[in-house]
Each structure stands twice: as C-alpha cells, then as structure tokens.
Structure 1
C-alpha cells in the first residue's frame, strides 16, 4: 500500500504483487478513513467482477487474507511497482480523472502492458493467478538502506556553502569567479543526482528513472545553478518559471514531480528537514496550479 497527495487530496493505492491487481481510493481523509477497509473491498469486488473472476474466489481471498491491517511495504520490487503505479495515477489525476474503478482498472493494466511485463511473474492471466490454491503469504524481511549518508551530508553541506556566494559582491561583478561557483554547484548537483538515482533505482522502471534524471539535470544544472540556487533554497520551488521561460507544460510538470521525489528522498534520509521538504513540495504544486490562471 502507498498513499500520495494530489491537490490536497490523499489517494491510497493497493497492489497485489503477483497479479498487479490494483485498487485506487480517492480522497481519503479524517472523516472517511474509518471506511477504508469497506471501500477497498467494494472497489476490489468491482474490479474482480470486471475481470470475470468468480465471486467465491474473492470471498476465499478475503478469508485467507485474515483481519484487516496495514503494514510497511519493505520489498524493493513491490515498492518499485507501487511507485510506478503512483506515477501514472498522478498523470490521470492531473487530467481530472477521479473515478476509482477506472483508475483501479487502468493501473491494473498499466504494469502488465509495460515493456518489462513479459519477463515478470505477473505476466500470466489474472483469474488464474488469483485462484485460492495459488494464495501464498510470505514473511517480510526489511532491507538495509544502501545510501551513503555521510557522502550525502557532505554534498548537501557543500551546496549550502556554494549558495551563500549569491550574497557576495563578485556575484554581480566578477564573471569568472561567478562561473567557478556555478560549475562547482553543477558538480555537486551531479553527485547528488548520482546518489539519488542509485538510491531509487530498484523502486522504479528504467524509463521512469531516466525521466527523473533528465528533468532534474535540466532544472538543477541549467536553470537553478546559474542563479546560484540549490535545493535548499525556497526559490527552487518556483518550477513555474520553467514554463514562463519557454519549457512545455509537460516538461514543467515532470520537473515538479521529479523534484518532489528528490525532496522525499532527502528528507527520508535525514539530510533535509521534513517540514521544509513538505513546504517545498506544496509550493511547487501551487506554482504549477498558478499556471492555470495565466491569461494568454
């Protein structure tokens, strides 16, 4: 299970790893979260029926699953598929799609239609996979964090240090010195991205990883660095400036999504204040939404 936030709405996503059977619940909040289990089972029943799976198999599935409980997703492959589904769910939400059954059906097919699905264990027929005699429950094992935290801290501290040169007189007068600082920030950004990509490489598809990296390289090195702005500066949240300066809306939104993932990564590894990261992600969403009100 994973939850994402979109325009102040919380969306909860459940995925069965063996079959890619996916349930998407929209707008979970304090008032209705007590109905989470009920809504999950209702959407699952609808999805089950749409796939022509016998109702008795669903009843057996729920019986075998036992009491409702939510635990952490700790397997990297499972987490990767959840992240993949989350990415595409956000794309549909941005197009105004909120219907839970449509999203659930679409996300169930998305991974099965991906380029790697032919090699995956879930490439078989869903009704066959979900037969009661195939149900198997495995004990989960936590995986260790492979991120080099000390190196990450050093890079982040160096970025903060370089950014301080914006306040120096030479930033406006000595172009050679300014260029040196810019190139140093580019170098540090490259190192930061290397650690970020290495840290999430097992959580997303190769295509998604490439998309994140390309968007971040453009924004961090070709846009922010030349303004001596790092990811620790509030100015980095103004992703709408990409669009105003000529980028497409699609590219601008991709930058916003990629930066959000980067902020989650940095705060999750303890090198960035969690509240600051939340604030930056919120401000980036707001900056994208503000573009809807531009008068062309």
Structure 2
C-alpha cells in the first residue's frame, strides 16, 4: 500500500518506511489506485486531523489527534482504521481481510495527483464548515462515513467503495513496460533543429505543425503524468502555445533549450502583448513554464542538470513581467 502525503503532512509519516523508488511507487499507485491513498492534515483546537483519501474511490478516513507520540504507531493505526471504517461502510469482513493482505506493508511516497489533492481540500473545507469533530476518538468512524456519503466529483465515495468491493480484488504487477510508459515519446522535430526568425510561409506552416505535435504530447504529459485538472491543462497549454508559436518562432527555438536566457524575456514580451493582465496571471504562466521544461526533460530535449538555471530564468522572467505590467499601468 502506498500513502502519498502532501509536503505539509509528510513529517507525520516519518516513522513509516519510505518508498525506495518514487517512480516505481507512483507507477504502482497509477496501476493500483484502490491500494493507494493521498493524505493531508489540518488543525482543530491544536489537534492535527489527518485525512486519508483513496485514489480510486475518493473514500475518506478521518484520524484525530495525530501527534509526536502516536505517529510512531501510524502504521497500525491506518490498518486498523481501514478495517473499522470499511466495516462501518458495510464491506464484507472477508473482503476487508483480502484487501489488507493484498495491500501489503505501507510505504510512503509523495502526493502528486492534483485531482485528489483538490478533493482533499474540498473535504477539509466541508469538515471545517460543519465542525462535527469528536476530539475524544482516534479514528472518527462516523465522520468518515458522513463525509463519504457526500458528493465529490459527481459521485458518492461511499457508493464507489461498495461498488468496487463487489468485484474481485486484483493487484496489478508493475512491469518495465509500465515504467517506460511514463517517459515521453518524442514524435516532433527537436527544438534544437527548428529554424526561427525570417521564415517562408511554408517554413512557418511546418513550424506551427511541429509546435502542435509538441503541445499534444505536453497535454498527454499533464493529464497522465501530472494528474492536473482540465482547467489547469488548458491554461498551461495556452501559455506554452504563446511561447512556442508567438515567441520562439520569431526569437529562436534552439535558444530555448541551450542558453535559456531567452526564457526570462518571454514574460516581459507577454506583458507587452497583453497576454496577462495581472501579477497573479504572470506567476501562473511561470508555473506553466516550469511544467513545460519538466516535460522537455522527460522528452530528452533538456538535461535535468539544467533545471536550476531554467528555474532561475523563469523566476527572473516573472519579476520582469510583473514589473512591465506595473510600468504599463503607470503609462496609462
């Protein structure tokens, strides 16, 4: 079983074994979402409320008062909580035993699925709004079931859990092919080989077609690897389309993956072109650029060792873009 805590919640799990290979753990979670959970916590009257949410069904488990003392027993607490809350959800006893046997030992990786993270945040908001906490129990069975019997992502997690347990439980093995599927397969002309600047009409059409192949692969990367929402995918694709087809096609594709200095200029250029109307929008564009360069690393266009310099250029660009917006506002 894999637990994928948020960065904030990770210290609560420091007595549990960490996954030796995060890429392998992530592949396991993607292939076996029923045996994978995301986690985060929030505070109520100085007590940490730990929320676990199943990756497949979005079924929640609420643990109350996880502190420095009882987090040492978190392995046993989680397994006991699954057993007791699943029983309350009317899952057959033998099915619960089979689930825990198949799940195996708990390993801790890192939160990565933005959709589930969003659901956790919505659940926390709901819990804080209704304030129905029993601070005298460690495993809040009633609150877990009540939360599961609410709508998240157009479904009831309680119904989804019961539906899954009506089918045979299967644990999928992770093969080398599964790991290789996480690597981006490049079917476009390398940016290093693309011409820019003074192009003929035919060359412009070829460059734009190549950019569309890159954008399609980037979309698949965001949806399958980053697990971000559709809204985020669309926003990031829009930013990168401007970068590829509005900016690099004139200023140089090869510089985007060689000197990197061209990256920072993109943001002030975008501000002057009214691509963004606020500092917040410029910062979101910076996040999109970071994702795009992580995608280029996965595709073999950029070396991972270049990422610190790329981040620095993006941060400089965000500052320049924000400053350009301020100056333009003063002019008008």
The TM-score with structure 2 as length reference comes to 0.49
Q: Indicate the residue corresponding to 1:285 in structure 2.
A: 315
How far apart in 2 are the matches of 1:3 and 1:180? 50
Greater Cα offset, 251-260 or 178-187: 178-187
Pairing 1:222–2:249 present: no
> 1:162: Cα distance to partner?
2.9
Is contact 1:22–1:105 with CA below 8 Å preserved after alignment? no
Deviation at residue 85 of structure 1 after TM alignment: 5.3
**Which residue in 2 is equivalent to 1:61?**
81
> Where does 1:188-199 land on structure 2 (aligned, <5 Å)?
188-199=210-221
Q: Distance in 2 between matches of 1:107 and 1:62?
A: 21
Counterpart for residue 187 of structure 2:
151
Matched, 1:248 2:277: yes
TM-score where L is the length of structure 1: 0.53
Whether the 8 Å CA contact 1:240–1:252 is kept in 2: the answer is yes
Match of 2:263 in 1: 236
Which string of whole-angstrom CA distances, capped at 9 and with x for unpartnered residues, describes residues 17-68 of structure 1? 5699753489xxxxxxxxxxxxxx87449x8258xxxxx9856137867755
CA 1:43 to 1:57, structure 2 compared with 1: closer, same or farther past 3 Å? closer
In the superposition, relative to structure 1, how do residues 256 and 216 fare at CA in structure 2: closer, same or farther (>3 Å)?
A: same
**How many angstroms apart in 2 are the aligned matches of 1:83 and 1:281?**
21
Q: C-alpha root-mean-square deviation of aligned residues, in Å?
A: 5.1
Shift of the alpha carbon at 1:272? 1.9
- Unaligned 5+ segments in structure 2 are 14-28, 43-47, 53-60, 65-75, 84-99, 128-146
2 CA distance for matches of 1:72 and 1:140?
A: 20
Residues 292 and 151 of structure 1: CA distance in aligned 2, closer, same or farther (over 3 Å): closer
Q: By percentage of residues, which structure has more helix?
A: 1
Does residue 213 in structure 1 map to residue 237 in structure 2? yes
